[in-house]
């Protein structure tokens, strides 16, 4: 399958944090959920993809092209929503429309106008008069209105109520259905990702600890809930992490079926992305 | 780059009213024979453009703009082009008004004086731009204000020191000698000054990480 985004051995060092050999691939027509706790390296990775940070090592290819060499060409086909970065708030959606006409070759004013109507955003109101949710919708409308082939979204649904989130997710879904477009979506709201992501990539302390299809992850992975005595019988090789709670042990396993065949433990729950994150970060080995 | 320039102009559109009021005030004062304030308007336009840096900074526009095609390059270039455009347009408006006021009040037009005044003002405002923009890109608009104050204070101090302790008659003689070519010299110096300033700002911005 053709990859629309490929990152190989991305490294970037700060005084108190480092991205270590981040490697991931996003196939064409797919949505990748990019998860991890605050400060894990999601935004730094996104900034490197977009060359907002420059002094990094490693290789980033978008549409098969080197992201530094073909920066201009690549960015014509990328739509972005970045956390806390946007147009100055004294501008109006109309100003944004007029500005973007002079920035993107494919800017589609009609499409932008349709999104404004769909999101009930007044074109002549200054951004500063919008609520947080309305601003997010405007950012999303701006990212989508030049027919991008790849969307890079950093926390696009934060600050939105469940109805608005469902609305936005629907829009993302229709976006990938046409023309084999792809989305890299970093989010804390993992329930959204459970609905739309095809792949899940999990970054922790600057390292990719897991990158799999969502179905494989949610179908095969599981949480074994057992007593201390039962836990002590489990071989270390058969689990990834465990956590001791007040009443039981929660053990993360990568293959529920194999585990069930090997051990006589009744409770093996399906895993959610939230539980996976907590166990991977807080669990012991 | 057009988009970036438009964005800056949209940002300052609310200041156009203020500029309009100042232009009316300037015209009225010209008619009643009060002091000449024509130089204030181009300086005001630079100050208004500098205010766009604060808005950009508040919403992290610089980082966001890099996600656009040629964003890093156009972000800096557009600021210079928009500011120079503002200076030139406002200077032309004030010069035209000066011609009208001069003719209406004395029935004569002192072309030479008005044009020297216009070029002098444009040169002065371009000097402010060339001096301030690299500092703003390096330190950010808030810190730059303090830096600029210190540098201006230093320049005034050095200037005062030089005039008091050194004989500057050679410089005065040189200026008098070049008087005929003054406008051309000012234009050449202004172009070189703005170009060097732009290159410094571009270099600073290219190295910036957000």
Residue with tokens 């910036």: B208
| C-alpha dist (Å) from residue A137 to A162, A165, B35 | 13, 10, 52
Helix (H) or strand (E) holding A262: helix A256-262
Q: Are strands A57-62 and A65-66 parallel, antiparallel or unpaired?
A: antiparallel
* ipTM (interface predicted TM): 0.86
| C-alpha dist (Å) from residue B154 to A11, B151, B195 | 44, 5, 24
Closest-CA residue of chain A to B66: A52
Q: Which of A277, A212, A150, A200 is nearest to A32 (CA)?
A: A200
Burial class (CB in 10 A: 0-12, 13-18, 19+), B157: exposed
Chain B partners of A51 at a C-beta cutoff of 8 Å?
66, 72
Summarised one tens digit per residue, pLDDT across range B34-76 is 566 667 788 888 888 888 998 998 889 999 999 999 999 899 9
Q: Give the model's pLDDT for residue B168.
A: 66
Of A71, A91, A152, the CB nearest to B11: A91
| pLDDT surpasses 70 at B102 | yes
Q: Give the model's pLDDT for residue B44.
A: 84
The tokens describing A206, both together, are 């600057």
Rg (CA), chain A: 21
Residue with tokens 């990702």: A193
3-state SS of chain B? CHHHHHHHHHHCHHHHHHHHHHHHHHHHHHHCCCCCCCCHHHHHHHHHHHHHHHHHHHCCHHHHHCCCCCHHHHHHHHHHHHHHHHHHHHHHHHHHHHHHHHHHHHCCCCHHHHHHHHHHHHHHHHHHHHHHHHHHHHHCHHHHHHHHHHHHHHHHHHHHHHHHHCCCHHHHHHHHHCHHHHHHHHHHHHHHHHHHHHHHHHHHHHHCCC
Residue A213: CB partners within 8 Å, gap ≥ 6?
A: A198, A199, A200
| pLDDT surpasses 80 at B208 | yes
- What percentage of chain A carries pLDDT values higher than 70? 99
Interface of B with A (CB under 8 A): 1-7, 10-11, 14, 52, 55-56, 58-61, 63-64, 66-72, 207, 209-210
Provide the mean pLDDT of chain A: 89
Helix, strand, coil percent content, chain A, rounded in steps of 5: 35, 30, 35
Residue with tokens 């935004």: A43
Summarised one tens digit per residue, pLDDT across range A56-113 is 999 999 999 999 999 999 999 999 999 888 899 999 999 999 999 999 999 999 999 9
Higher pLDDT, A237 or B156: A237
Q: Give the model's pLDDT for residue B167.
A: 66
Closest-CA residue of chain B to A77: B69
**What number is the average pLDDT over the span A234-250?**
86
| pLDDT surpasses 70 at B33 | no
Per mean pLDDT, which range of B71-75, B90-94, B171-175 is the poorest?
A: B171-175
Q: Are strands A222-226 and A268-270 parallel, antiparallel or unpaired?
A: antiparallel
| Distance in Å, alpha carbon of A89 to nearest chain B alpha carbon | 7
How far apart CA A213 and CA A201 sit, in angstroms, is 9
DSSP label of A272 = -
Instruction: Give me the torsion for CA of A152, A154, A159, A161, rounded to 10°.
Output: 40
- Ranges of each domain in chain B: 2-207
Q: What is the pTM of this model?
A: 0.85
How far apart CA A49 and CA A67 sit, in angstroms, is 7
| pLDDT surpasses 90 at B195 | yes
Question: Could you tell me if residue B57 is left (phi over 0), alpha (psi between -120 and 50 degrees) or otherwise beta?
Answer: alpha
Residue A239: CB partners within 8 Å, gap ≥ 6?
A: A224, A251, A252, A253, A259
How far apart CA A223 and CA A251 sit, in angstroms, is 5
| pLDDT surpasses 80 at B106 | no
Q: What is the largest CA-CA distance in chain A?
A: 68
Q: Give the model's pLDDT for residue B105.
A: 72
Q: Give the model's pLDDT for residue B35.
A: 62
How far apart CA B62 and CA B56 sit, in angstroms, is 7
Which residue of A43, A46, A87, A100 to mutate against B (max B Cβ within 10 Å)? A87
Domains of chain A in start order, with CATH, are: 3-214 (3.40.50.300), 221-282 (no CATH)
Q: Are A75 and B68 in contact (CB under 8 A)?
A: yes
Q: Give the model's pLDDT for residue B28.
A: 78
Q: Give the model's pLDDT for residue A236.
A: 84
Chain A partners of B15 at a C-beta cutoff of 8 Å?
none
Question: Could you tell me if residue A204 is left (phi over 0), alpha (psi between -120 and 50 degrees) or otherwise beta?
Answer: beta
Summarised one tens digit per residue, pLDDT across range B110-159 is 777 777 778 888 888 898 889 889 999 998 888 877 767 777 777 778 87
Residue with tokens 């991205």: A19
């Amino acid at each position: 399958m053709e990859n629309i985004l490929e990152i190989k051995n991305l490294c970037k060092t700060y005084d108190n944090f480092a991205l270590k050999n981040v490697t991931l691939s996003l196939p064409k027509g797919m949505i990748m959920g990019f998860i991890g706790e605050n400060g894990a390296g999601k935004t730094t990775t996104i900034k490197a993809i977009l060359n907002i940070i420059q002094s990094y090592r490693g290789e980033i290819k978008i549409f098969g092209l080197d992201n530094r060499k073909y920066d201009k060409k690549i960015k014509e086909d990328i739509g972005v929503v970045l956390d806390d970065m946007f147009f100055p708030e004294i501008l109006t959606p109309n100003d944004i429309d007029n500005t973007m006409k002079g920035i993107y070759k494919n800017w589609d004013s009609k499409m932008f106008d349709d999104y404004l109507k769909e999101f009930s955003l007044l074109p002549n109101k200054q951004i500063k008069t919008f609520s947080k949710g309305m601003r997010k919708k405007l950012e999303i409308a701006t990212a989508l209105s030049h027919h991008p082939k790849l969307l890079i979204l950093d926390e696009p649904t934060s600050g939105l109520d469940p109805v608005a989130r469902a609305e936005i997710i629907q829009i993302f879904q229709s976006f990938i259905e046409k023309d084999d477009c792809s989305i890299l979506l970093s989010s804390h709201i993992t329930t959204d990702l459970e609905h739309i992501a095809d792949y899940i990539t999990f970054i922790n302390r600057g390292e990719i600890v897991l990158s799999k299809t969502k179905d494989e992850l949610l179908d095969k992975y599981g949480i074994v809930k057992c007593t201390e005595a039962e836990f002590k019988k489990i071989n270390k090789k058969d689990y990834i992490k465990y956590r001791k709670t007040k009443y039981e042990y929660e053990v993360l396993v990568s293959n529920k079926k194999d585990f069930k065949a090997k051990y006589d433990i009744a409770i093996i729950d399906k895993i959610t992305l939230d539980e996976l994150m907590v166990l991977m970060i807080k669990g012991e080995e | 780059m057009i988009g970036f320039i438009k964005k800056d102009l949209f940002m300052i559109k609310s200041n156009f009213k203020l500029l309009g009021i100042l232009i009316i005030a300037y015209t009225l004062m010209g008619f009643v024979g009060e002091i000449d304030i024509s130089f204030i308007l181009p300086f005001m336009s630079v100050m208004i453009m500098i205010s766009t840096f604060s808005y950009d900074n508040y919403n992290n526009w610089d980082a966001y703009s890099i996600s656009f095609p040629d964003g890093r390059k156009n972000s800096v270039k557009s600021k210079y082009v928009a500011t120079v455009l503002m200076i030139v347009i406002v200077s032309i408006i004030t010069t035209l008004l000066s011609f009208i006021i001069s003719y209406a009040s004395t029935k004569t037009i002192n072309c030479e004086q008005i044009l020297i005044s216009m070029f002098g003002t444009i040169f002065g405002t371009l000097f402010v731009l060339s001096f301030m923009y690299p500092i703003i890109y390096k330190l950010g608009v808030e810190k730059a204000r303090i830096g600029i104050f210190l540098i201006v204070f230093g320049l005034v101090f050095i200037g005062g020191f030089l005039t008091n302790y050194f004989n500057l008659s050679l410089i005065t003689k040189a200026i008098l000698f070049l008087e005929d070519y003054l406008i051309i010299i000012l234009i050449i110096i202004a172009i070189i000054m703005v170009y060097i300033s732009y290159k410094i700002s571009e270099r600073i911005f290219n190295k910036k990480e957000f």
